[in-house]
Amino acid sequence: MLPQHMKQIRVLVLNDKENLERTLFRLDQGFELYLQLGPSLQGRTVTVYTNYPLEGQPFQRKNYRVLKWNNPTGREDDSDKFCTLDLKVSGSYQYYFSHGISDRSGGGYFVVNPVLQVGPENHVLPLDCITIETYLSKCLGHLNDWPDRLRVSKESGYNLIHLTPLQTLGESRSCYSLADQLTFNPEFSPEGQNYGWTDVGGLVEKMRRDWNMLCITDVVYNHTAANSGWIRKHPECGYNMVNSPHLRPAWVLDRAIWHLTTRVADGRYTSKGLPPDITNDAHLNAIRSVLWQDVYPEIKLWEFFQIKVDTAVNRFRVLLQDGTKADHSKTGQKKGLKIIQDPKYHRFGNTVDMDSALETFVPHSSSPQHIEDCCGWFKQRLNELNEEQYHIVHQHQEQAANCVVGNVVYERMADHGPKLGPVNRKNPLVTRYFTFPFPEMTLAQEMVLMDQPDKCCHFLAHNGWVMSDDPLRNFAEPGSNVYIRRELICWGDSVKLRYGNGPEDCPYLWAHMQKYTEITAKYFHGVRLDNCHSTPLHVAEAMLDAARAIRPNLYVIAELFTGSELIDNVFVNRLGISSLIREAMSAGDSHEEGRLVYRYGGEPVGAMVQPSLRPLMPCIAHAMFLDVTHDNECPIQLRSALDSLPSSAIVSMACCATGSTRGYDELVPHQISVVKEERFYPKWNPAAPPSSAGEVGPHTGIIAGKLALNKLHQELASKGFMQVYVDQVDSDIVAVTRHCPNTHQSVVSVCRTAFWNPKHHEYGTSVPPMFIPGKIEEVVLEARTVDRHGGGYKKDGNFINGMPEYTVEIKEHIPLEESTLVKQAGVTSKGKSEFVQEISFQKLTPGSVIAFRVSLDPKAQKLVGMLRYFLSQFSPKYKRGSVADENPPAALQKPLAQLMSALSLADLNVLLFRCDSEEQEDGGGCYSIPGWETLKYAGLQGLISVLADIRPHNDLGHPVCDNLRQGDWLIEFVSNRLIHRGGPLAAVGQWLEAMFHYLKHIPRYLIPCYFDAILVSTYTTALDAAYKLMSNFVQKGSTFVRHLALGSVQMCGIGRCAALPPLSMKIDDVPYRISPITNQKEQCCVSLSAGLPHFSAGIFRCWGRDTFIALRGLMLLTGRHIEARNIILSFAGTLRHGLIPNLLGEGRCARYNCRDAVWWWLQCIQDYATHVPQGHEILRCPVTRMYPNDDCEPCKPGEVEQPLYDVIQEALQRHLEGISYRERNAGSKIDMHMRDEGFNVAVKVDPVTGFVSGGNRFNCGTWMDKMGESDRARNKGMPATPRDGAPVEIVGLSKSTVRWVVDLHGKGLFPYKGAKVHRDGKEVFIPYTQWNDQLQLSFEAGFWVSGEAGDPNEKHPDLVHKKGIYKDSYGASSPWCDYQLRPNFTIAMTVAPELFTVERAWHALEVAEKKLLGPLGMKTLDPDDMVYCGVYDNALDNDNYNVARGFNYHQGPEWLWPVGYFLRAKLYFAKKMGKETYTKTVTLVKNVLSRHYTHLERSPWKGLPELTNENGQYCPFSCETQAWSVATVLEVLYDL
């Protein structure tokens, strides 16, 4: 097992309705699999099931268990919830999950690789190290001769032998046609000996222990030899005429074609132009004629699919005469005749469903004449149906004729076919489809047998394969017409086995095959699934389960011919196939051969370092890449003998299992037939002469070259050379690089292929030079196939001999100077860090291979080692290949975590974030990638967001990677930006600079991966440092909570200019700095940006409303109490007219044009006092007033100071008194769109209701503050949503504040009991308790829309269009606006829930959920409203008053921040509604929030947007990340 910190963990995210049966996930033993909930499942009660067994329990495929959820943070949020599986047993496993009532909501498979072990010490043989060689067992001779014959593989460097089946063969002598699956072939025993399975097992174990070689063999489940003794006793194990009567028509056709064969063989058709020897097209046409004129008319196949018309009509007539009516429950009153196929397939056996007949043919009356008429129509329709069946069978017969002729062409006329010669009984016209174990008789006599079950049960269907068939369908089962259409390419020696659906359908066959499987698994290390794509999946599954019960680490290989990677995955998933056989012979040229190397394994050179905990990525099946398979044509025939070595070399450089077939290395120039070959393989003799047929040695064929290549292949895989680069040098030369990412050693193999025989094809003499980066340490091997003039090839009668005329000239492990193939090697330098060797070749003739071992040049090697040494403080995976620096630079002598611990959260804002406009304030900017785009942030997050997309897919062609390879600009930008800041940030910058010093001196192709490693390490260390400075809620919170809390770091920073007005000098813990502008000491408090990138710098950074809506979430909940206090007090200093400014403008350029900011500010003071320990002390903090009276110029800091409680009192008193003024500098200077009347501000408290109301129809004093801008549409100067009167959220916020000050006064923490105001010329004292009670009493009377007739509180019943909601405002100048459904009432519910009746509140929330809730945000207006428009386009200027220049900003687009209040209100009132409602609500909340989590994860800004267009669509005019959006979602998680 791996130590915990190195443990490989893969995370699989579950998504609702996602079925991944065709997606392959492969894992190694020792890995841990985490299953996590995707957004669509968060909040639901999800149960995950798997058939992966508990430790120590046996695997039962149908036995599923429930996995336990782990919730590391123990919170109500599901973002981190996971199930875990510790994978220790190889095989194929299934998982699925469900929620609610559905059985399965999604699922898939995962495959755990086997661990293979060799040698006396049981060393692990990694799958990528495998080099396999296939033997036809029947060519090995007696078992006691096997070691000498198999030794050839050992001496050629192979480590795994594949033997074709060792059982008794059928009479065809095909290696894959087995007469008895349970007995060891007796021909392997010499006379007087009787070898058995234990003897083979002994040899296999000896090879494993002494030769370090494993051995696998085939299992053949699909068929048995036609002469198998057991199938005669158990004919039910095949497809016969008793258990598969649907094959009867095909059997009749097959017998008719056999009788045609005998007649052709006997010359009885010669006169018709069809002689026994078929050689030309005229003969083929004659076959067609005979089929259509003689065969088809005689056997009348259509009768098997037709109805006996007279019988059916008579039966129908009787039913009509008896007055029988159709059974509507069966017909569904639908007309149309239903034909019922006779399950026994007798001629004219089909019948009619009489209910459908009675429904379709109804007589006008019951008179005999009408009944006869009706029977006439019925008869006519039956004849039509019989005619339709006739045409269908006619089409089958056409296809059958085509297939018969096609077969004859291949077998008798084609150049590439077997040329069988004249038709005779041994080589019939076409292969028979069924066995016929009876003496010859006439066709008529055979037809009689078809109805005798004891005879026809022995007519068994042969197996074969069907071109382009669906591999997941069994072509012998009902519904398939393969046999009648003669589409089967038939193996006449093999009977197809019929397993049915399970052991109960054919007990003998299942038991027999399970025993066969268990024998194989007991003695062999693995199996090759023969004919896998045609083996029924449930059969192979059950058999492999039985095999793995005996040998858990069973190695399973298969060759699939499905033509689809997705269908391949179905087989790999269900069967747990370890490696899929792929063949280099499938490549038509060297370019394609190189592409296959790249496709089948490894990652690109210079790939990013992947974290040990990472997403589980879909993959392709592990490849077993062979130069040639044993059942395909010989490459020498298709290419040339010279190509054997270079193509082998290309294959052996692949980062996967590789291998070959015995005979390839000996240059056997023909295919070794699995059916016909009976000669023996030569034995090993180190001194064998080239002419020897019965022995081979190191100089035979390319054996010496193959040994070197196999050794190299195993070394590369075992030493971690897992990165691959394939370079097509020219049309014949392929260079393959294997690179080790730990040591940065490479092996570069240059192979000159010879796809065409040089005797007939002219190859160019000039070979282009190669440029190899780094220092060539040695030539690992150089080899050429040369003609040794050993005489021509003569096929030996006893041994499978190869071409003696060729051998391999090979040198291994030589210095470059001694190379015969290299003419010269010059060293060129490419920049300060790149040394390139230019190689010119001389004898690189077709058929040559040279492999170089390449290191980085010594200086670069040392610097990479030092870089890895310093990276190993972050992860032990960098230890390998690391070298300590004897004189480390001062900047690196402290661990990075220690340097980070000196940073404040404001410093971390600079390190991690800051968008372009924030940086421009300091004279900088974000880094722009030429030809691509500008990074979102100048800080690390800007790069981390991009690298996170590059890393999982190793997208090394990305413009950022290109930029890094081309120069040091980006590298220097990252460190210099921090160094210029000075202070603790400079120390981090210097640490990065020192790390980058090493980085700049390594080869450019490695820079992206190490740059990423440095940045990820720095970034994660910075995040740890940030979380340590935050509250417990964040530190112990889920990933989602932490990601949202980073919004606090993102939004809260200190700019070049002080954004906040100064605080009183008497306050402790206020930060100071030397101003970069004046060089004077100044306060430098953190300010909160409203949103990025639009509200990030200058006077547009700080807004009163935005700041105080976001402050609780981003500052109080994250533990930034002092900074929150400073912001509250700073804004307190700007109070004027009893209001807090909307746009702060540093206080001097403040605009007092909003009615709600002061109430959000007061709510924040309340939140501070209740949330922060001893928080009420803020009330006594001194506030330095900028505007102690309304009309004064700004005062100097400290000139007028008063405690915060006095400022609060002033705000409340001014509202009770009534506020009325005209904005300073009114006109286009401060607002180019507003009309003159809009600059007049008025606010008052209604003396009867206590509602705070104000505004007019020309201004907009709440957050819905869009002012019309279009002259063309005539909306300029008109607010889209004035919300004058008493907006519902201001009423809620004022109630919350008044309730709080009453409570404070009662505790002696607030000195004011009420306020004095002037009413009708008199001074009147209004107690806050009175105001509080007024609000409580008046709220529902004023705001609840019951929709009931005669509601005494309803002033405008004609305007009610939605019942059971709360008004958006009360007393608007346009009364319709009061009744519009908007999300603002949920704010009042959250801050002052006491105003609401529980049932009414719940109903209103349900309406809001149905009508307003979008994927991420809340619709700002009811979609049923006539002015609703959900798409915000601020650039659109047209004639439409309602949308021009973004007039609909708050008339439909979905804003995110109100979702927080909606969900918090829903949670609050759900608790009041009872447990069941609360549980359902928590599900809803989690589900909604999961979409925010997904957005946050995917957003390069790492934030939540201001708004989206309708249904969550992206809005290009929105801020990409908005403070209040992040804050209010964080508040929901806090409430959960």
pLDDT of residue 562: 80
Active-site option among 199, 254, 631, 643: 631
Is the dihedral angle over the CA atoms 1092, 1094, 1096, 1102 positive or is it negative? negative
pLDDT of residue 4: 43
| SS3 (DSSP) at 1050 | helix
- Gap between the Cα atoms of 859 and 258, Å rounded: 79
Q: Cis (ω within 30 of 0) for the bond into 611?
A: no
- Gap between the Cα atoms of 1082 and 1074, Å rounded: 6
Whether 631 is catalytic: yes
Active-site option among 180, 530, 1368, 1425: 530
User: How far apart, in Å, are the Cα atoms of 892 and each of 989, 995, 1024, 1351?
Assistant: 11, 8, 19, 77
pLDDT of residue 832: 64
| SS3 (DSSP) at 48 | strand
Q: How many CB atoms lie within 10 A of CB 417?
A: 13
CA 2 to chain CA mean position, Å: 26
* DSSP structure class, residue 434: B
Q: How many CB atoms lie within 10 A of CB 266?
A: 13
Q: Which residues of 572-601 are buried (b: 16+ CB within 10 A; e: fewer)?
A: bbbbbbbbbbbbbbebeebeebbebbebbb
Whether 538 is catalytic: no
Structure tokens at 1121: 């109490």
- Gap between the Cα atoms of 417 and 121, Å rounded: 50
Structure tokens at 1526: 């992040």
- Gap between the Cα atoms of 1238 and 1259, Å rounded: 5
Q: What are the strands, taking DSSP E only, across 1162-1283?
A: 1182-1184, 1201-1203, 1219-1222, 1240-1245, 1252-1254
Q: Model's pTM, two decimal places?
A: 0.89
| Among candidate residues 856, 594, 604, 584, the one with its CA nearest the CA of residue 722 | 604
Parts of the chain with a pLDDT under 70: 1-6, 790, 829-833
Is the dihedral angle over the CA atoms 912, 914, 916, 920 positive or is it negative? negative
pLDDT of residue 556: 98
Strand partners, 1094: none
Active-site option among 533, 1137, 1215, 1495: 533
* DSSP structure class, residue 1036: T
Whether 1156 is catalytic: no
pLDDT of residue 870: 95
- The C-alpha angle 680, 685, 687, rounded to 5 degrees, equals 135
Contact 587, 934 (CB under 8 A): no
